[in-house]
Amino acid sequence: MGDYEDYARKNFEDHGPKVNAGKKKEVAFGIEEADALNAVNYPAKDTTTKAAAKAAPVAAVPAAATTESASTPVAAGAGVALGRGLDVGTANLVSSCQDSTGNVNLKIQRNAFIDIDCDDYTRNMLTRLGVQYVVVNNRMVVVGDPAFELANIFNRNTRRPMKDGMISPDESDALPIEKMLLETLLGQPQQQGEVCYYSVPAEPIDADLNVVYHQGVFGGLLKGLGYEPKPLIEGHAVVFSELAEDDFTGIGISCGGGMFNVCVAYKSIPALSFSTTRGGDWIDHNVASVLGISSSRACGMKEKGIDLTNPQGREEEAVEIYYRNLIAYTLKNIKERFESSATMPKFPDPVSIVCAGGTSMVGGFVEVFQEEFDKIQFPLEVKEIRLAEDPLYSVSKGCLVASLSESA
């Protein structure tokens, strides 16, 4: 173990990942570096929650929350490499950095919040539970994982700052909430202008959504924290974190809550990338409407550990039907776009398809993907369809790879 850590550290110090997103340049980030990145320190979800919970409540932040950070940022420990990764997802925000031993530290928070009436009873309860809150317009606001837990206690839905992969047009409080969440996850930079790559959706093919605004909003929030923000297309991030052994050639798919993001890359350069606004939320919504249950119930059932290859009962069958439809829809779109593009590189060898994101974590996902794949004439020879090593953290790790390569 010690040997491996020494090796990983030395490897990063000597070489550093030299992927340069979007630039035609020799790729010096190889298998060893990718393996070192996979020596991950997982965020014990409890630890993260407890750490946040211990902090004293920050009271009376102005409604617009435009003042400088009032909370205590999570300071990067000694020996953290320069460069951060941030996965900006509809369901989860995930930050990452690399410590001096070459391990990756990740933090994850639900991209959600809840506001509660500001009375003495509730305030005391939150303080007793050690839940951090801010007061906005005379309402107590709790963000991230604790918001999700409180929503269950109060039998309410959380509010969501993002929808379908982008900042939500329906949520006027989205910006100050995202600012608070980023402060919790990233803290302040180790030095002014530390690079932070953050994931953005590729252009959606089935919705008239404006990626430019969303990208600008998160760029602005990161800049406000003191980082130098750099956007990275989400599917491309999956290629960076999962396809090192294939010389960054192949297909990365991020299967999220709000979207699916696809990137076909050749030697680390994206040849084709797009997103669709169908993901886990789309499955929940459809399952809920055909079964006459709430979306959160449908989501709970989906996440509880079902097996798509052997659905039990009407509810699980509904989940399986929509999963299959979603996968077939994604494959059809890759095929059509690939075939209609005049500028596609030749892929001399068979490629891998790697799926990341929470929606890929359901039992039997790869099997159903393979079955749907076998039904169509795919334009590329594929040697393997597999899950990312850590589906929930893959995009953030890919963003970190890009940041480390620039900061080395």
- Contacts with Mg ion by CB under 5 A lie at 89, 256
Measured distance CA(265)–CA(263) in Å, rounded = 6
Block residue for tokens 């205590």: 72
Question: Could you tell me the two tokens for 360?
Answer: 């890929």
358 binds ligand ADP (CB under 6 A): yes
Interface residue with ligand ADP, options 91, 263, 272, 351 (CB under 6 A): 91
Measured from the CB atom, is 69 or 90 closer to Mg ion? Answer: 90
Q: Which amino acid is at 36?
A: A
Closest contact distance (angstroms) between CB of 256 and ligand ADP is: 3
User: Which of ligand ADP, Mg ion, none does 83 bind, CB closer than 5 to 8 A by kind?
Assistant: none
Closest contact distance (angstroms) between CB of 104 and Mg ion is: 17
Name the 3-class secondary structure at 343: coil
Closest contact distance (angstroms) between CB of 90 and ligand ADP is: 4
Measured from the CB atom, is 180 or 362 closer to ligand ADP? Answer: 362
Measured distance CA(356)–CA(330) in Å, rounded = 14
Measured from the CB atom, is 35 or 303 closer to ligand ADP? Answer: 303
Closest contact distance (angstroms) between CB of 200 and Mg ion is: 11
357 binds ligand ADP (CB under 6 A): yes
Measured from the CB atom, is 36 or 253 closer to Mg ion? Answer: 253
Q: Are 185 and 86 in contact (CB under 8 A)?
A: yes
| The length of the chain, given as a count of residues | 408
Beta strand spans in 225-337 (E): 227-233, 250-255, 260-266, 269-276
Question: Could you tell me the two tokens for 132?
Answer: 């951090």
316 binds ligand ADP (CB under 6 A): no
User: Which of ligand ADP, Mg ion, none does 361 bind, CB closer than 5 to 8 A by kind?
Assistant: ligand ADP
Measured from the CB atom, is 196 or 356 closer to ligand ADP? Answer: 356
Q: Are 327 and 368 in contact (CB under 8 A)?
A: yes
258 binds ligand ADP (CB under 6 A): yes
Q: Which residues, other chains included, contact 300 with Cβ-Cβ below 8 Å and sequence gap of 6+?
A: none
Measured from the CB atom, is 16 or 256 closer to Mg ion? Answer: 256
Closest contact distance (angstroms) between CB of 377 and ligand ADP is: 29
Measured distance CA(389)–CA(244) in Å, rounded = 12
User: If 0-12 CB within 10 Å is exposed, 13-18 middle and 19+ buried, where does residue 68 land?
Assistant: exposed
Closest contact distance (angstroms) between CB of 231 and ligand ADP is: 15
242 binds ligand ADP (CB under 6 A): no
Name the 3-class secondary structure at 370: helix
362 binds ligand ADP (CB under 6 A): yes
Interface residue with ligand ADP, options 48, 49, 69, 92 (CB under 6 A): 92
Measured distance CA(265)–CA(141) in Å, rounded = 42
Question: Could you tell me the two tokens for 48?
Answer: 């993260």
* Residue 72, CA distances (Å) to 59, 98, 119, 148, 301 in order: 13, 21, 25, 22, 37
Question: Please, which residues bridge with residue 273 across strands?
Answer: 263
Measured distance CA(27)–CA(39) in Å, rounded = 21
Closest contact distance (angstroms) between CB of 239 and ligand ADP is: 16
Within residues 368-407, the interface with ligand ADP by CB under 6 A covers 392
89 binds ligand ADP (CB under 6 A): yes
Measured distance CA(69)–CA(77) in Å, rounded = 19
281 binds ligand ADP (CB under 6 A): yes
52 binds ligand ADP (CB under 6 A): no
Total of chain residues touching ligand ADP, rule CB under 6 A: 19
Q: Which residues, other chains included, contact 2 with Cβ-Cβ below 8 Å and sequence gap of 6+?
A: none
280 binds ligand ADP (CB under 6 A): yes
Contacting range for ligand ADP; rule: CB under 6 A; set: 30-38, 70-78, 173-181, 254-262? 254-262
Q: Can you give the binding site for ligand ADP, defined by CB under 6 A? A: 89-92, 256-258, 279-281, 299, 302-303, 357-359, 361-362, 392
